[in-house]
Amino acid sequence: MRIVAVTACPTGVALTYMAAARLANIARARDHAIKIETQGALGVEDVLTPKDVARADVAIIAADIEVRGAERFARCRLLRVSTAEAIEAPEAVFARAEALAAAPRNRSATPRNV
């Protein structure tokens, strides 16, 4: 499965990068390809290209704030979670992402509907 993700938190320091690291580790463990854009104190790093987004089976936004460029994911299967959830329960996040990958495109998932 190909995944793109964006992580962001209000201060743009620890949680942004911790969430990115946890998502990357679980993706590797599950043999998924992942590219993660971080929107932190250092600005936007590892920017997702339109091609990255178009090729993704699922997009994950792990953020506690509005992310810049969220409209890029309008045609994606999109899972929104908090940074805390990505850090504390990444296996559960990936289980939901895997289930969402089977859904039609333009589908979003929040904690309430997946």
Considering 3, 4, 5, 9, which one is annotated as catalytic? Answer: 9
Q: Would you call 76 a catalytic residue per the annotation?
A: no
Contact 20, 5 (CB under 8 A): yes
SS3 string, the chain, reads CEEEEEEECCCCCHHHHHHHHHHHHHHHHCCCEEEEEEEECCEEECCCCHHHHHHCCEEEEEECCCCCCHHHHCCCCEEEECHHHHHHCHHHHHHHHHHHHCCCCCCEECCCCC
Catalytic residues: 9
